[in-house]
């Protein structure tokens, strides 16, 4: 078996790249890519390292996207081996970032190396967009690179994000979209008073309670073929002065929508304000959009990836839009077809994060076959 992808994954895992520190991971990738003719553009924004790499000048542009940063390890003594010492044990590769997503980065590079060796004069372009700011606040990473590319008129035709997507076995799940994330901080205003004299005040918690009930019971949409219905959930409620004999003057309610493409930011905001106004509340509401919903329906990229998975593993991949946000939400602004495919996600962000060694070469093979399917079919 060829172990080049495994060895590259180990080299990346050994770098202590706690978000947003890249810790030299990107230079390892850049050195490999430059040897096979990629033009490299390092893009540092704030404290975040990013790079954009491209081989070729023509269309279509097939991009691989990912991140080198990882989440903290938690208590290192609870790991079976040191988190940043890549360790193969019982057929598994252990280390922080093994699944999310340094093995995918390694597989990107080795798949491209094999493809270029076989097709040095391939049509179109192959690109990589790599950031060290995905696991953190994600403001100086992929979003900034996409803004820079868009400003100079660069667009992508297809993009593969190497996030861990699979549930039970490698190849079983491809993410073809993600729900949007819209948060709100609602402050309901009342009148503070002594609790023994409630007629002299207005309890904002009482005023807000029927509003909460209606918001929780509202059907925001029915979803669609690819997405479940939009959900609304409260994350925090803050009210009261700390005393037991005071009616508070305000209550603050923090909530979040995870919304499908069956709704828009504007439609959700309008419905919330209509409910609040119907209850004649005195309120302030601050909105924060942290991720737009996006969708890649069945088409060229879905077909190419599904075929590559079937040819490599024999598995019929299912399309899914579950989970949280990913950097695909930014890339969708300049790319009409964005998919995520990577290893199993069972151990991501956990103690003893790992990937099966037996899945590593098939992951590389899926990426390589996908390139062939898109360029030559």
Question: Annotated active-site positions, please?
Answer: 69, 134
Kind and range of the H or E run holding 208: helix 204-217
**Contact at 8 Å (CB) between 20 and 133?**
yes
CA atoms within 13 A on the CB side of 298: 7
Q: Choose among 258, 244, 333: nearest CA to 65.
A: 333
Please tell me the distance from the alpha carbon of residue 198 to that of residue 190, in angstroms, as a whole number. Answer: 11
**Contact at 8 Å (CB) between 145 and 131?**
yes
**Contact at 8 Å (CB) between 2 and 361?**
yes
Question: From the centroid of its chain, how far is CA 210?
Answer: 35
Q: Cβ neighbours of residue 283 under 8 Å, at least 6 residues apart? A: 186, 187, 188, 189, 276
Helix, coil or strand: residue 198: helix
**Contact at 8 Å (CB) between 74 and 351?**
yes
Taken in order 34, 38, 43, 48, the sign of the CA dihedral is: negative
Distances (CA, A) of 193 to 41, 199, 200, 231, 238: 61, 9, 6, 36, 17
Burial of 19 from C-beta contacts in 10 A (0-12 / 13-18 / 19+): buried
**Contact at 8 Å (CB) between 68 and 22?**
yes
CB neighbourhood size of 262 (10 A): 17
Distances (CA, A) of 243 to 195, 196, 237, 246, 247: 10, 13, 17, 6, 9
């Amino acid at each position: 078996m060829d172990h080049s992808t495994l060895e590259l994954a180990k080299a990346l895992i050994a770098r202590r790249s706690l978000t947003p520190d890249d810790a030299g991971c990107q230079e390892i990738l850049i050195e490999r890519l430059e040897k096979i003719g990629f033009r490299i553009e390092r893009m540092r924004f704030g404290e975040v390292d990013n790079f954009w790499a491209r081989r070729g000048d023509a269309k279509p542009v097939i991009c691989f996207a990912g991140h080198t940063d990882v989440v903290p390890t938690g208590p290192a003594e609870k790991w079976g081996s040191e988190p940043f010492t890549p360790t193969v044990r019982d057929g598994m590769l252990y280390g922080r970032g093994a699944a999310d997503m340094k093995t995918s980065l390694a597989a990107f590079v080795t798949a491209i190396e094999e493809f270029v060796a076989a097709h040095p004069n391939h049509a179109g372009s192959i690109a990589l967009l790599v950031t060290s700011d995905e696991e953190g606040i994600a403001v100086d990473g992929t979003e900034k690179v996409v803004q820079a590319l868009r400003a100079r008129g660069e667009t992508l035709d297809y993009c593969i994000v190497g996030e861990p997507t699979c549930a039970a076995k490698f190849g079983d799940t491809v993410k073809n979209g993600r729900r949007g994330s819209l948060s709100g901080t609602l402050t309901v205003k009342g009148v503070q008073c002594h609790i023994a004299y409630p007629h002299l005040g207005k309890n904002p918690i009482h005023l807000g309670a029927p509003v909460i009930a209606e918001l929780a019971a509202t059907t925001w949409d029915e979803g669609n073929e690819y997405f479940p219905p939009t959900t609304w959930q409260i994350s925090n409620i803050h009210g009261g002065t700390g005393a037991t004999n005071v009616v508070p003057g305000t209550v603050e309610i923090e909530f979040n929508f995870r919304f499908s493409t069956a709704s828009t930011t504007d439609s959700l905001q309008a419905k919330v304000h209509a409910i609040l106004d119907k209850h004649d509340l005195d309120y302030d509401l601050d909105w924060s959009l942290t991720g737009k919903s996006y969708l890649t329906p069945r088409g060229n990229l879905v077909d190419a990836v599904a075929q590559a998975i079937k040819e490599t593993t024999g598995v019929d991949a299912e399309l899914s839009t579950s989970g949280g946000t990913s950097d695909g939400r930014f890339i969708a602004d300049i790319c009409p077809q964005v998919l995520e495919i990577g290893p199993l996600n069972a151990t991501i962000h956990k103690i003893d994060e790992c990937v099966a060694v037996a899945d590593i070469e098939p992951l590389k093979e899926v990426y390589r076959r996908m390139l062939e399917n898109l360029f030559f079919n």
